[in-house]
Amino acid sequence: MSWPYVLRRIGMFVAVVFLAITINFIVPRMAPGDPTAAVLEQLLSRGQQVEGAADIVANYRARFGLDDPLILQYGRYVWNTLHFDLGYSISYFPQKVESALLQALPWTLALLLTATAIAFTLGSILGALIAWPRSPRIVRSLAPLLMVLSAIPYYLLALILLYVFAVWTKFFPLGGAASSQSALTFSFASAVDVVRHAFLPALSIVLAGLGFWALGMRGAMINVLGEDYLTLAEAKGLRPHRIFFAYAMRNAMLPQVTSLAIALGTVASGSVLVEVAFNYPGIGYVLYNALRSSDYFLIQGVAFFLVLTVAVAVLLLELAYPLIDPRIER
């Protein structure tokens, strides 16, 4: 791996992060609604009496710098973001944004990484088997079903699974991350409880991604099957399973790795809706609450975290890709 290649990828990463910071600042301020007024509306909706509402709004706007010129707000936001100081959440005040994100981060990472790894692995193997001429006919006939799965959105699958397995059959809980998050301990019973709550959200992400990865792998395998090295491997008398894994599937995986980097953003955005559907206390649910209360700082924090996570993952994949295929540096 050459240094120019590494520096180009790092430069692209820095440009993407800076562009994300800029867009992240502008978009929430274009949305209708006043975040301080939304806080008062929440208090009133709970039946709480609020005296001196105008003074409270003015104090909130002064405290959070919402009355400053936009250019000053932007400069302060860029400086603070680069120092990972995302400010205070208006809807969760006096809790800071990074604190709210850190509480939700373990739930999202566990759900997203596990579901994506399972969907990518199973989808790639299944797609390769569908394209492999020596596979059983029943395996090759799964392509139409996978096409249907790939067309169904994450949230729709989540709602279907929620109704069938939680409302109708009651096999799994309706939502949440555990029966009682405050009572979680490092015990087998708590682990089983967490897995039962995470099973349906993870299954919806796996099923939605399974068709995408399988169809992508099927197309890559079809292109590989006509290569000369496969003919040579068969002429040498190598065993079929070795030809399948070491020659065909290994070379067909190269486009899959590229697709993984591109699809990470889609998976992350899809998991947001899944978390909302299952009332799962991850980053997506935090973003949903922030949007409802027009919490600029929390919206910006969640969006920046998602963009940064995807950008870091793409950077790592691009740095690892030349190790898989040295031709990529040319």
pTM, entire model: 0.76
Other C-beta atoms lying within 10 Å of the C-beta of residue 76: 15
- For 102-283, CATH gives 1.10.3720.10
- The CA distance from 50 to 40, in Å, is 8
User: For 161-165, 178-182, 314-318, which range has the lowest pLDDT when averaged over its residues?
Assistant: 178-182
Cα(313)–Cα(290) distance, integer angstroms: 25
Q: Is the pLDDT of residue 17 over 70?
A: yes
For the residues 215-226, what does the mean pLDDT come to? Answer: 87
The residues near 17 (Cβ < 8 Å, ≥ 6 apart) are 307, 308, 311
Residue 275: pLDDT band (50, 70, 90) is: confident
- Of 103-107, 180-184, 249-253, where does mean pLDDT reach its minimum? 180-184
Beta partners for 88?
96
Predicted local confidence at residue 10, as pLDDT = 87
Q: What percent of the chain clears pLDDT 70, i.e. is strictly above it?
A: 79
Tokens of 3: 């240094």
| Residue 126, pLDDT score | 92
Please state, in angstroms and as integers, the Cα–Cα distance from residue 60 to each residue in 4, 65, 139, 253, 285, following that order: 49, 8, 61, 53, 24
Question: pLDDT, tens digit, for every residue of 56-111?
Answer: 566 666 656 666 787 888 888 788 888 888 777 766 666 788 888 888 888 888 88
Which residue did the predictor score with more confidence, 238 or 154? 238
Domain ranges of the chain: 1-91+293-330, 102-283
User: Per residue in 257-296, is it b (16+ CB within 10 Å) or e — as a string?
Assistant: bbbbbebbbebbebbbbbbbbbbbbbbbbbbbbbbebbbb
Q: Which amino acid is at 70?
A: L
Q: Is the pLDDT of residue 177 over 70?
A: no
**Residue whose pair of structure tokens reads 């936001």 in the numeric block:** 77
Asked if residues 221 and 127 have their Cβ atoms less than 8 Å apart, the reply is: yes
Confidence of residue 173 (pLDDT cuts 50, 70, 90): confident
pLDDT at 53 over 70: no
Averaged pLDDT of the chain: 79
Q: How far apart are CA 195 and CA 277, in angstroms?
A: 17
